[in-house]
Amino acid sequence: MRVLVTGGAGFIGRPTVQILAAAGHDVTVLDSLRPDVHPAAPQVPGGRLVRGDVRDEDLVGTLTHDADVVVHLAAKVGLGVDLGDIVDYVSSNDLGTACVLRVAATEGVAKVVFASSMVVYGEGAYDCPEHGRVAPGPRRPTDLDAGIFDPRCPRCDAVLAPTLVAEDAPLDPRNVYAATKVHGEHLLSAWVRETGGSAVALRFHNVYGPGSPRDTPYAGVASLFRSELAAGRPPRVFEDGGQRRDFVHVHDVAAAVGAAARADTAGFAALNVGSGTVTTVGGLAEALAHAVGGPEPVVTGQYRLGDVRHVTASSARAREVLGWHATTSLADGLAHS
């Protein structure tokens, strides 16, 4: 199988390329090598690296000629800093995806695998003791100031209980990056209807592991905690540390991408890619501190209005559709990261 991997020099891209190459596939990597992501040119074992932008349709067309699958990982990632990033996000992610899909249609590519994210959900899934499954509204500053961090039922005002979010949950993007991922999924769905091809959007949950970006506002919480510990400082945990997340190792994520590229799927499918294990942010900070013998985390009680409280995945559909499931425990993953 001939595969083009956009963003293949990145954190998730490099192990994905290795997995595809190890399975005997012919892999070409297209990566812009943005200096804010790649201060030095990386090695990409198993793939032929071409430096270029996914918005360069002539170049993408050359690289997708005779390709069977495009794995589209290239994106400006993270939750952003402020609206000063909005044009870069929309151009890199929305326009970039549109260019890839237009070329894929022209070149007759049969399948596209797209890196989506759990941020498309906004808050995760919640149950009310009286009204069952409900979608919470924004958390109230008065509650947050009082240390009440869980959202309330919009009907009876009861504090809600979190549960696992499945792919049929409503999408509620709450920042620019999330909005671009939702739009990317919609573009993929339209591409499938127009071309009859197959597309899989993989909603990655909190990915961690070797090679994760650090010391940048766009890094994930695990990387931010690592950076603090490396500097001899205690990780600073917002709220009460009880925020629920699903931390999934990058090698498991790469395996999911490889499985999606190989799977005999039809139409459009969106699939959660998570570990299946619920971990609190405070618990992650403690585990990281213990793993490196660093100082204990400090729970600050601080909050950010735009943060979501709980979002954890059910990845049962990925097991059913792709035959994939995560195999790396958090303890093992942190020990080797």
Q: Cβ-count burial of 40 within 10 angstroms (0-12 exposed, 13-18 middle, 19+ buried)?
A: exposed
Residues 6+ apart with CB under 8 A from 297: 225, 234, 235, 236, 237, 241, 282, 285, 286, 289
In the 8-state DSSP scheme, what is residue 41? P
Between CA 305 and CA 321 the distance in angstroms is: 36
177 is a catalytic site residue? yes
CA distance 279 to 333: 13
Give which of 334, 329, 114, 146 is closest to 222, Cα–Cα. Answer: 334
Q: How far apart are CA 58 and CA 37, in angstroms?
A: 24
Q: Do strands 26-31 and 279-280 pair parallel, antiparallel, or not at all (unpaired)?
A: unpaired
Residue 132's beta-bridge partner residues?
128
Closest CA to 219 of 80, 31, 39, 74: 80
Strand partners, 4: 28, 70
Which of 126, 177, 208, 303 is the catalytic position?
177
End-to-end CA, the chain: 31
Q: Pairing between strand 111-117 and 2-6?
A: unpaired
Supply the residues annotated as catalytic.
177
